[in-house]
Amino acid sequence: MTVRAYAKVNIFLKICGIRNGYHELRSRFVRVDSLYDTLTFSKKQHLSSSFELISSVPIPVSNTITQAYALLKEVAPRIEKFFRTHKIVLEKRIPQGAGLGGGSSDAAAFLNFCNDVMDLKLSKKKLALIGEKVGADVPFFIYGYPSANVEGIGEFITPFEEEVPPLKLLTPPIHCDTSLVYRAFREHFADTIDPDAGKMWMQMESRKLLEELEPLEANDLYKAALTVYPLLRKYQAPHRFFSGSGSTFFEQLKNQL
């Protein structure tokens, strides 16, 4: 049993306020179907009470999947029985620290799998409420929309009907720490916060946004990331946008439209 956990990019990302220490945003998330991790749920050789996760790359002992498991077990204790006999093999293809939401997508794929296969009968809204405790991007992946407007601290998600434009991704060998980038934004750019930023863009197709916006204008975290990781400047180019807190750049492939 294998499920895919897709990457995402932010077509635009505006910081609109700070609430209880959390940054409120307004953003367009689009799913990247060509890039994904896989989670394979397979039988253990021996019965074990421990939750077993094997990853193709090093990940922290406390990671988004183990966090999602602990939270889901609180509302659905019977999942523990399944994981006495099954383990998860995580094949990581989405780069870490790249602004592509890989860890969040992994957690969402895990929650959706458990809900479906174990017939937990939890609504998407309930799963999203669990997921947002793991990370702000998790609810977007729970719903599985190809494109959506995301607001608040990630909890308000509205599907956006459009044909997602083909994108070319470039991920430099730079691991961006999200917390450091947000800290840099607070320290250097907090005075630029506009509560209405990005409102007009929410009704525009992603294709049009990528044609009309300037990369530095589109993502409020871009300049912050440059202050923390100046080597990112090496990869800047006209019409090359920046996803989330980085380090991935992307651009629209116009010849495929």
DSSP state of 164: P
Q: Which domain holds residue 172?
A: 167-256
Are 54 and 154 contained in the same domain?
yes
* 21 and 130 part of one domain: yes
- The predicted-structure confidence for 12-62, as pLDDT tens digits, reads as follows 999 999 887 789 999 999 999 999 999 999 999 888 889 999 999 999 999
Q: What is the mean pLDDT of residues 194-198?
A: 95
**Average pLDDT along the chain:** 96
Lowest-pLDDT range of 11-20, 83-92, 136-145, 207-216: 11-20
Distance between CA 64 and CA 208 in Å, rounded?
34
pLDDT digit string (tens) for 97-111? Answer: 999 999 999 999 999
* pLDDT above 90 for 84: yes
Query: In DSSP terms, which residues pair with 37 in a beta bridge?
Result: 5
- Is residue 98 located within the same domain as residue 145? yes
Give the CA diameter of the chain. Answer: 57
**Closest listed residue to residue 12, CA positions, set 139, 151, 108:** 151
Predicted confidence band of residue 257 (pLDDT cuts 50, 70, 90): very low
* Domain's final residue, options 115, 130, 159: 159
Q: Above 80 in pLDDT, residue 86?
A: yes
Give the tens place of pLDDT for each residue, 166-182.
999 999 999 999 999 99
Catalytic positions? 8, 137
Query: 100 and 178 share a domain?
Result: no
Q: Are residues 137 and 21 in the same domain?
A: yes
Q: What are phi and psi of 205, to 5 degrees?
A: -65, 150
Radius of gyration in angstroms for the set of CA atoms belonging to the chain, rounded to a whole number: 18
Residues 180 and 251 in one domain: yes
pLDDT at 22: 82
Is residue 126 helix, strand or coil?
helix
